[in-house]
């Protein structure tokens, strides 16, 4: 019988225990032996729990028990999770985690540490929740070179943008509903609405695609706080939907770029129809072409099921899994990754008449003019050119309020 330990007994941690018990027979069949939770590490008081005997507040208890072969980390963050995971890997125990921040920040180091100590470090649930993305990428797509990734990887913001589109809600109203439903944090929803969650996820996927570590803080990131109902309506006039897109592009001559930003997605693009809390990730392989992974990006049992699937793989494959699941360490770049691409853009400006925009912003199409603001679609420009537009507008007493790229077909 394989004994495992769970670090952190929140939503995902409790889900892991539930999945292990509810699907014990099928898990044992796939793992080749029964899998049992022996310890749960949590500093809170669970003395009244029916499972009180499983709880410990000391990692040393777990590390001292040779029966524990796999540790599941669901604490979140890096303050405690990172040193705990290091100790577990150094002891030769495999670790399975849903912790996107830790994987995005320390992934290369922890992958190397796992292999050096004959263990597995697995993190399927860190990107797609219960939707498999990591495993298909390093196994099923192993014969492909992945040059482009683009996707909707944050269900909270996608839910909010869906509400703004179909029900005419503004940002504040949509956020309130998301918080009431438990999709967004009530105290600080910044990880979702400011794009940090999506940034960590694309950092993981980009690292796996290019083979070396891509740091989250090197990826230009902005969220959806500046999106208004007028922008959503303007996008519809342009036969587009606004989506928070996380993307990676290998670029020419190795000049890779990545970003997280709200973008105009043409209605004929598969990502435009992804709504509510669903996620979708498109990958472009040189042999296969485009493939899309689609599903809910979160939830207690879906996420826990992905973690437990990793436990099965860790028990069966151990460090051998890192023959395909790896990326190399890399130095932090001196500056954020730059996107040199040329795109169509939607801009919203304040204080400058729509009639003046062609002479200031270049050839394009007016979209709307109301309440002292104007929407305008630029035919082709780089990000640097759009940024330079900001100072031109200021000279005229205006202000660039929003600029959105249009996702390439």
Neighbours of 29 (CB within 10 A): 12
Name which of 165, 357, 137 is nearest 262 in CA terms: 165
Distance CA 179, CA 46 (A): 27
Q: 102 and 85 in contact (C-beta within 8 Å)? A: yes
| Residue 125 Cα to chain centre, angstroms | 10
DSSP string, 116-153: HTT--EE-THHHHTTS--HHIIIIITTTS-EEEEEEE-
Name which of 361, 406, 368 is nearest 387 in CA terms: 361
- 300 carries an active-site annotation: no
Q: Can you tell me whether residue 365 is helix, strand or coil?
A: strand
Quick one: DSSP state of residue 263? E
Tokens of 13: 């941690």
Of 38, 100, 163, 201, the active-site residue reads: 201
Name which of 120, 126, 121, 80 is nearest 101 in CA terms: 126
Name which of 396, 317, 348 is nearest 229 in CA terms: 348
Q: What is the CA radius of gyration of the chain?
A: 23
Distance CA 77, CA 45 (A): 21
Q: 315 and 2 in contact (C-beta within 8 Å)? A: yes
What CA–CA distances, in Å, run from 260 to 244, 351, 405? Answer: 7, 28, 11
Hunting for tokens 């470090």 — which residue is that?
121
Distance CA 7, CA 400 (A): 47
- Which residues are catalytically annotated? 201
């Amino acid at each position: 019988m394989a004994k495992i330990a769970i670090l952190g007994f929140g939503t995902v941690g409790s889900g892991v225990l539930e999945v292990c018990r509810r699907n014990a027979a099928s898990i044992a069949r796939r793992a080749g032996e029964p899998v049992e939770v022996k310890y749960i590490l949590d500093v809170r008081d669970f003395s009244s729990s029916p499972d009180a005997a499983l709880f410990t507040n000391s990692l040393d208890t777990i590390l001292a028990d040779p029966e524990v072969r796999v540790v599941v980390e669901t604490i979140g963050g890096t303050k405690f999770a990172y040193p705990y995971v290091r100790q577990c890997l150094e002891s030769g125990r495999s670790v399975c985690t849903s912790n996107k921040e830790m994987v995005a920040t320390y992934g290369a180091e922890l992958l190397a540490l796992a292999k050096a100590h004959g263990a597995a470090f697995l993190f399927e649930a860190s990107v797609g929740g219960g939707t498999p993305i990591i495993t298909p990428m390093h196994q099923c797509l192993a014969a492909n070179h992945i040059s482009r990734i683009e996707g909707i990887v944050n269900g909270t913001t996608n839910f909010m943008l869906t509400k703004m589109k179909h029900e005419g809600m503004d940002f504040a109203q949509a956020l309130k509903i998301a918080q009431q439903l438990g999709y967004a944090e009530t105290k600080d929803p910044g990880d979702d609405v400011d794009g940090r969650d999506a940034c960590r996820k694309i950092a993981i996927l980009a690292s796996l695609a290019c083979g070396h570590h891509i740091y989250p803080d090197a990826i230009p990131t902005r969220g959806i706080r500046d999106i208004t109902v007028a922008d959503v309506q303007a996008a519809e006039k342009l036969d587009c939907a606004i989506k928070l897109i996380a993307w990676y592009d290998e670029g020419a001559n190795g000049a890779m770029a990545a970003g997280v930003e709200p973008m105009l997605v043409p209605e004929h693009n598969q990502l435009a129809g992804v709504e509510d809390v669903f996620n979708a990730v498109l990958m472009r392989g040189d042999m296969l072409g485009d493939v899309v992974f689609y599903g809910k990006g979160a939830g207690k049992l879906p996420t826990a099921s992905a973690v437990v699937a990793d436990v099965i793989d860790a028990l069966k494959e151990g460090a051998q899994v890192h023959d395909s699941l790896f990326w190399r360490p890399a130095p932090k770049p001196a500056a954020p990754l730059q996107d040199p691409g040329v795109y169509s853009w939607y801009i919203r400006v304040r204080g400058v008449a729509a009639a003046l925009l062609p002479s200031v912003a270049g050839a394009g199409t007016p979209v709307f003019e109301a309440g002292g603001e104007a929407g305008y679609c630029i035919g082709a420009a780089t990000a640097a050119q759009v940024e330079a537009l900001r100072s031109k507008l200021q000279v005229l007493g205006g202000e660039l309020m929003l600029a959105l790229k249009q996702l390439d077909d």
